[in-house]
Amino acid sequence: MGKVLAIANQKGGVGKTTTCINLAASLAATKRKVLLVDLDPQGNATMGSGIDKSDLENSVYELLTGRCELKQALQRSENGGYDILPANGDLTAAEVELLDVKMKESRLRYALTTLRSQYDYILIDCPPSLNMLTVNGLVAADGVIIPMQCEYYALEGLSALVNTIQRISSVLNPTLQIEGLLRTMYDPRNSLTLDVSAQLTSHFGDKLYQTVIPRNVRLAEAPSFGMPALTYDKQSRGAVAYLALAGEVVRRSKQAAKASALASAND
């Protein structure tokens, strides 16, 4: 059964889509089968994966509103080596349409059940707001990866997101937990970066990924060519950092599976 991870933060510009694309490509490079779900109407993960969002016959919008089956919306990112459920501006309409639908928070979760066993990892790129699309992503997920910059306002937004995750866990998805926090656009020369990083370490402990994602020109350039940094320039610091993150994500998954197996055996 594939592990479903939502990449979420209601603050924009923190590297959610960059993380989704590059983590998907890095996990695929380690021979894992990966599906990326673009839940953002901006469709940046779609474009960054080399898929033209203006030329989609079916997308996540059609899937969530029951207009197509999951397999009909699936596409392949040849540049990234993973499958993708693409999105475009049509997805904005899903917000309104889902309001009157039964089980509206669980549409994505049920849609993914048919193919979940075929993937090792399913990554969900959530929009930069706590709306119905983000709720669908969190209800479908086993865990949440929170990318964030080490700056003052990022800490403020983090507490709101943690509260949302706790509420969804208590009402809609009891297995949901924070998988990890990822420091992005990291500049160790900045004293505020180091201060915020220290606060995150003391508050979240081992939930904080050891890998940090540096500010990197190649990482910023790659999406405009429709490819992850690993394909664009595999020697770049950004590509190397996301490969390291993929290794950390896989290790954590194995440790969690081992702990779960031990708990079951003891029962």
- 10: confidence class by pLDDT, cuts 50, 70, 90: confident
Amino acid, single-letter form, for residue 142: D
Q: Domain limits at 145? A: 3-266
* Residue 150 in this model has a pLDDT that exceeds 90: no
* Residue 111 in this model has a pLDDT that exceeds 80: yes
Domain tally, the chain: 1
Query: 230 or 203: whose pLDDT is higher?
Result: 230
* Residue 1 in this model has a pLDDT that exceeds 80: no
- 224: confidence class by pLDDT, cuts 50, 70, 90: very high
Tokens of 97: 């349409």
Question: Rounded mean pLDDT of 102-111?
Answer: 93
pLDDT confidence of residue 99: 83
Question: Rounded mean pLDDT of 201-212?
Answer: 93
User: What percent of the chain clears pLDDT 90, i.e. is strictly above it?
Assistant: 75
DSSP letters for the chain: --EEEEE--SSSSSSHHHHHHHHHHHHHHTT--EEEEE--TT-HHHHHTT--GGG-SS-HHHHHTTSS-HHHH-EEETTTTEEEE---TTHHHHHHHGGGSTTGGGHHHHHHHTTGGG-SEEEEE--SS-SHHHHHHHHH-SEEEEEEESSHHHHHHHHHHHHHHHHHHHHT-TT-EEEEEEEEEE-TT-HHHHHHHHHHHHHHGGGEEEEEEE--HHHHHGGGGTS-HHHH-TTSHHHHHHHHHHHHHHHHHHHHHHHHHHHHHH-
Number of Cα atoms under 13 Å in the Cβ half of residue 184:
27
pLDDT confidence of residue 58: 96
pTM of the model: 0.95
pLDDT confidence of residue 79: 94
CA-based max dimension of the chain = 53
pLDDT confidence of residue 259: 82
Do 229 and 24 contact (CB within 8 A), yes or no? Answer: no
Residue 203: give its domain's CATH number.
Answer: 3.40.50.300
* Residue 33 in this model has a pLDDT that exceeds 80: yes
- 12: confidence class by pLDDT, cuts 50, 70, 90: confident
pLDDT confidence of residue 110: 95
- How long, in residues, is the chain? 267
* Residue 183 in this model has a pLDDT that exceeds 90: yes
